[in-house]
A and B are shown apart, each in its own frame.
Chain A
Amino acid sequence: MEYNGAAVVAMVGKNCVAIAADKRLGQQFTTVATDFKKIYSLTPRTYIGLGGLATDVNTLADLFRVKLNLYKLREGREIEPETFAHLLSSTLYEKRFGPYFVDPVVAGINKDGKPFICSTDLIGCINYAKDFVVSGTASSKLFGTCESLWEPDLGPEDLFETISQSLMNAFDRDAYSGWGAVVHVITPEGVTTRTLKTRMTWSGASPMYLGF
């Protein structure tokens, strides 16, 4: 789970949710790419963020594209985020004794306009939350920053600022993740996607301690 590195977070706001991730792909301490995609849209209102082993991030993104296309054909509608959480859970538990090494985060808005977020572990145990969920190598730092910055009933713009600052300040203290970020803010009206230019270094010490 530490081989490629990742920082993924999702947060609930007032009638909106946000999901954000860093963009680094590494091989341990070597940074291979700084535009690796970790967040995928499942429906126009539901997104999944995948931290963990990059090969399984790719594999599961491909797999869920297939599963959700078939779901749409069978049901004639898009999947609800709550339903997808269970699809995710069963997909992961199917590989109970040879799991995908991923740390998924789901964020979406359901048909009633209600925000939904959850995360699972690598074998599909669902963790529901009313505030925020975190994953990846920077998850321990994300808990700290989210706990400090998040507050209930943030509007889309305030939620964007909160999730961005939480993510950036967490991965600036994590050597395995960072190098830019992408943030999606989902509202009943639509999704705004922004990319963040961040510290483009191996991180660790903050600029203050380096004497800048």
Chain B
Amino acid sequence: MEFLIGITGKDFVLTITDTTQARGITVMKHDEIKSMSLNPHSLMLYSGESGDTVNFAEFIKRNVRLYGIRNNVELSPSAVASFVRGELAQALRSRHPYQVNMLLAGFDPVKDEPSLHWIDYLAASVSVPYASQGYGQYFTLSVLDRHHRPGMNVEEVKAVAKLCVDEMKRRFLVNFAGFTCHIVDKAGIREEKIDL
């Protein structure tokens, strides 16, 4: 029932995650953070099996950090995506596969362009202009297909994100407690106030 979404704009990626932590039919928490910064320019959004998600995200975060410290160069967003996919694919054929779906939002300061990667729990990875995970896909992909254009500015992307969230509120069975919004751009990762 989790909701992740990522939209690329001209020189940034905007992401939204819901903040509901539920177990079965019970809501346990209203302010869960479902994203983690991996390095100054890469943000990972995750959903899936509750134990696996944070465990896998922390494992990835520490290894990406270690690479940065060892080499004095941070991994680019596409390199992070490749590393995450590799670890997930290796785990898939082990006794303990991680059941984690992800969106990797990043900004490549060398190429000077935003990047968004969609990765599912089977470790299929693809670079996309916009994406969502889970049940959110059924409601938001059509909205994004209609309203997303390449090279949009922050205000335009925020407006599209609002359309997506409005659609979820209107048509999805489950009520979300709240949403958090992040923007990844040249300056790094920041939480963005957005009226949803």
A57 to B122: give the CA distance in the assembly, Å.
11
Q: Are A55 and B123 in contact (CB under 8 A)?
A: yes
Q: Are B125 and A58 in contact (CB under 8 A)?
A: yes
A30 to B89: give the CA distance in the assembly, Å.
22
Interface residue tally on A, bucketed by range? 10 to 19
Q: Interface 1/0s, chain B 83-113, versus A by CB < 8 A? A: 0011001001100000000000000000000
| Distance (whole angstroms) from the CB of B98 to the closest CB of chain A | 13
The residue from A30, A36, A55 contacting B138, defined by CB atoms under 8 A apart: A30
CB within 8 Å for A30 and B85 given contacts A55-B124, A98-B93: no
A35 partner residues in chain B, CB cutoff 8 A: 126-127
Count the B residues whose beta carbon is within 8 Å of the partner chain — how many?
Answer: 18
CB within 8 Å for A32 and B128 given contacts A55-B92, A58-B89, A98-B93: yes
Q: Are B141 and A33 in contact (CB under 8 A)?
A: no
Q: Is residue A19 within 8 Å, beta carbon to beta carbon, of the partner chain?
A: no
Q: Interface 1/0s, chain B 120-145, versus A by CB < 8 A? A: 10111111100100000110010000
Q: Is residue A54 within 8 Å, beta carbon to beta carbon, of the partner chain?
A: yes
Q: Are B120 and A27 in contact (CB under 8 A)?
A: yes
Q: Are A59 and B89 in contact (CB under 8 A)?
A: yes
Q: Which of B93, B122, B125, B141 is the most central at the interface, judged by chain A CB atoms within 10 Å of its CB?
A: B122
A35 to B128: give the CA distance in the assembly, Å.
8
Q: Is residue B118 within 8 Å, beta carbon to beta carbon, of the partner chain?
A: yes
Q: Are B86 and A53 in contact (CB under 8 A)?
A: no
A32 partner residues in chain B, CB cutoff 8 A: 118, 126, 128, 131, 137
A33 partner residues in chain B, CB cutoff 8 A: 118, 126, 128, 131
> Chain A: which residue is nearest B90 at the CB level?
A59
Q: Is residue A153 within 8 Å, beta carbon to beta carbon, of the partner chain?
A: no
Q: Are B86 and A25 in contact (CB under 8 A)?
A: no
Q: Are B123 and A58 in contact (CB under 8 A)?
A: yes
Q: Are B124 and A30 in contact (CB under 8 A)?
A: no
The residue from A3, A4, A27, A62 contacting B86, defined by CB atoms under 8 A apart: A62
> Chain B: which residue is nearest A58 at the CB level?
B125
Q: Are B86 and A30 in contact (CB under 8 A)?
A: no
Q: Are B89 and A54 in contact (CB under 8 A)?
A: no
Q: Interface 1/0s, chain A 31-65, versus B by CB < 8 A? A: 11101100000000000000001110111001000
A residues touching B (Cβ–Cβ < 8 Å)?
A: 3-4, 25, 27, 30-33, 35-36, 53-55, 57-59, 62, 98
Closest 5 A-B residue pairs measured CB to CB? A54-B124, A55-B122, A55-B124, A33-B126, A55-B123
